Chains A and B, each alone.
Chain A
Amino acid sequence: DIQMTQSPSSLSASVGDRVTITCRASQSISSYLNWYQQKPGKAPKVLIYGSSSLQSGVPSRFSGSGSGTDFTLTISSLQREDVATYYCQQSYTNLRRTFGQGTKVEIK
């Protein structure tokens, strides 16, 4: 099974800061990497799919990059409404999926 490792597990940043979250796959997954945002008590929602494609309706301050085994989610200017937990997910293996362990983002 493909393992996904995110870092850091949590971070605290100020409004307006640039925030970067990384995700590493245990084997190459090409660009089959998605990012989800989950707010407390809510279902997750997709932000980025295919490593770098922005889902419709998602603010442009969110961006994704990477291929192979190393990926990054960047929030260019952190806003208060971005407080949430972020998960990466690989979709390389037919319908089997794996999530990273999550990164909790808080405001300093």
Chain B
Amino acid sequence: EVQLVESGGGLVQPGGSLRLSCAASGFTFSSHDMHWVRQATGKGLEWVSAIGTAGDTYYSGSVKGRFTLSREKAKNSLYLQMDSLRAGDTAVYYCARGNSSGYYYDYWGQGTLVTVSS
């Protein structure tokens, strides 16, 4: 059974850092693109970042230069290092798997809440 379990969310002050993790199981982790999508309370979905099977990374304009995405194949884990956090980064962060063709998300985690506030 495919599972994605996010962790690492919490309360952080503006300007602070946080590292989110996504533990994957039930599939060959190295064979799929992986993404982070966030959702502020009461708002829509926002694509944040993605990493390809070759380790290529992509970021939305709103987080580029502040967030760093990586994957550790030996641990079947995805990491999102978030630095210089702002109030606008407050959201539930979802980890999502790209399907075999890479064109849509076929599995999502349950999400982890990040709150940036003083």
- The answer for the CA separation of A17 and B36 in the assembled complex, in Å, is 35
Which range contains the number of B residues in contact with the other chain?
A: 20 to 34
> Does residue A81 face the partner (Cβ distance < 8 Å to B)?
no
Q: Is the CB of B52 within 8 A of A95?
A: yes
Is A50 on the interface with B (CB-CB < 8 A)?
yes
Question: B106 contacts which chain A residues (CB < 8 A)?
Answer: 46, 55
Q: Which of B20-28, B82-90, B108-116 contacts A (4 or more CB under 8 A)?
A: B108-116
Whether A91 and B52, one on each chain, are in contact in the complex, defined by CB atoms closer than 8 angstroms, is no
B72 within 8 A of A: no
Contact: A96 with B109, CB < 8 Å?
A: no
B105 to A: closest C-beta gap in Å? 6
**B50 and A49: CB pair below 8 A?**
no
A87–B104 Cα gap in the complex (Å)?
Answer: 12
Contact of B45 among A32, A49, A87 (CB under 8 A): A87
Chain A residues with CB under 8 A of B105: 34, 36, 44, 46
**Which residues on B are within 8 Å of A, measured CB to CB?**
33, 35, 37, 44-47, 50-52, 56, 58, 60-61, 94, 98-99, 102-106, 108-111
Can you give 11 contacting A-B residue pairs, CB < 8 Å?
A: A34-B104, A34-B105, A43-B109, A43-B110, A50-B104, A94-B58, A95-B33, A96-B47, A96-B50, A97-B35, A99-B47
